[in-house]
């Protein structure tokens, strides 16, 4: 059986670089190695693991099934070691070249990334941000393993994480401006009672609006199901289809013209958007800096007390 002491850590760094770059030459360049040195190191690792690990492919190399299985564990281990080695170092955002990985949905990217990146570029121009959307049931483990650093969103099923509520939002219905449904003023309850008049477009990756439609027994009124959220405004402006979406995003679309909002009083419409992170990396200076910046940018005044209380109760 192969033991950890049998493997040079640099070989794992090389494996990770080749896996990410899908190229031995690009990996060598990223690590400051010559291509022959990288090729020799990869050969050593292949012999140790008794697997080719990478095979030739158009534009570079492709991982074998064994390499695919190994990659996640190697990346998590390297991230944990890097965090442990840097834990006591002072973090200087103005000088840092660090990369951070954040779970966000496509709608989260639209809501948070523009303001976040403007702030990061002003304070820490060398920092890189990479979004990595994950299934909700994989987020907590990914945070603990260091595969992602933070997670944004309405994630009620994500447990056992540190978290801080940033803002409260609600689901509304977005329609094209001038849609017949918008021509008469009604109470939120009356709007709810008349939703059967509408036909809907839904996004299969956003489960909460789908759940609301199911509770309202409106699944049969869904005429289009798509993969991407950001295409919805164009569809709504061009058709009589309606969409359930967060109010904060819908207001931006309505501000661009061609869209209108209605706010029926349906169940589960109110929700909180939170920032999640792992207790294992809470003391990491870089993550603490980024976490503080995000909370400063996006935490609404009414949520600050809730966020503080949630963090304290999570630590208890």
Cα distance between residue 74 and residue 69, in whole Å: 9
Residues of the chain with pLDDT under 70: 1-6, 83-89, 302-316
Q: How far apart are CA 242 and CA 258, in angstroms?
A: 13
Instruction: Return the pLDDT at 302.
Output: 58
Residues with Cβ within 8 Å of 134's Cβ and at least 6 positions away in sequence, in order, are 103, 142, 148, 151
pTM for this model (two decimals): 0.65
Query: Token pair of 259, please?
Result: 């869209």
Q: What was the pLDDT predicted at 4? A: 58
3-state secondary structure (DSSP) of residue 26? helix
3-class DSSP state of 246: strand
Give how far the C-alpha of residue 116 lies from the chain's centroid of Cα atoms, to the nearest Å. Answer: 13
d(CA 151, CA 154): 10
Q: What per-residue confidence (pLDDT) applies to 310?
A: 44
Q: If you count DSSP H runs as helices and E runs as strands, how many of each does the chain have, helices first? A: 12, 11
Phi, psi for residue 168 in degrees, rounded to 5: -105, 140
Cα 103 → chain centroid: 2
């Amino acid at each position: 059986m192969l033991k950890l002491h049998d493997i040079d850590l640099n070989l794992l760094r090389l494996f990770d670089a080749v896996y990410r770059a899908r190229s031995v030459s690009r990996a060598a360049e990223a690590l400051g190695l010559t291509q022959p040195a990288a090729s020799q190191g990869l050969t050593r690792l292949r012999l140790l693991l008794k697997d080719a690990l990478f095979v030739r492919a158009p534009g570079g190399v492709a991982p074998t099934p064994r390499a695919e299985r190994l990659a996640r564990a190697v990346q998590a281990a390297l991230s944990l070691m890097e965090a442990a080695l840097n834990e006591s170092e002072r973090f200087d955002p103005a000088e840092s070249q660090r990369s951070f990985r954040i779970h966000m949905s496509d709608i989260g990217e639209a809501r948070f990334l523009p303001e976040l990146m403007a702030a990061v570029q002003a304070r820490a121009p060398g920092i890189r941000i990479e979004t990595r959307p994950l299934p909700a049931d994989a987020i907590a483990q990914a945070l603990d393993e260091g595969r992602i650093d933070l997670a944004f969103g309405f994630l009620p099923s994500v447990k056992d994480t540190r978290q801080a509520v940033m803002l409260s939002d609600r689901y509304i219905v977005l329609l094209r401006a001038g849609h017949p449904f918008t021509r008469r003023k009604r109470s939120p309850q009356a709007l709810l009672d008349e939703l059967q008049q509408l036909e809907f477009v839904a996004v299969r990756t956003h489960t909460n609006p789908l759940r609301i439609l199911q509770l309202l027994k409106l699944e049969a009124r869904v005429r289009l199901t798509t993969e991407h959220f950001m295409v919805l405004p164009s569809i709504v402006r061009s058709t009589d289809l309606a969409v359930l979406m967060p109010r904060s995003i819908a207001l931006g679309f309505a501000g661009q013209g061609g869209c209108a909002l209605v706010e029926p009083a349906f169940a589960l419409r109110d929700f909180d958007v939170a920032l999640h992170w792992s207790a294992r990396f809470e003391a990491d200076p870089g993550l603490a800096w980024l976490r503080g910046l995000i909370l400063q940018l996006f935490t609404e005044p009414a949520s600050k007390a809730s966020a503080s209380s949630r963090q304290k109760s999570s630590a208890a």
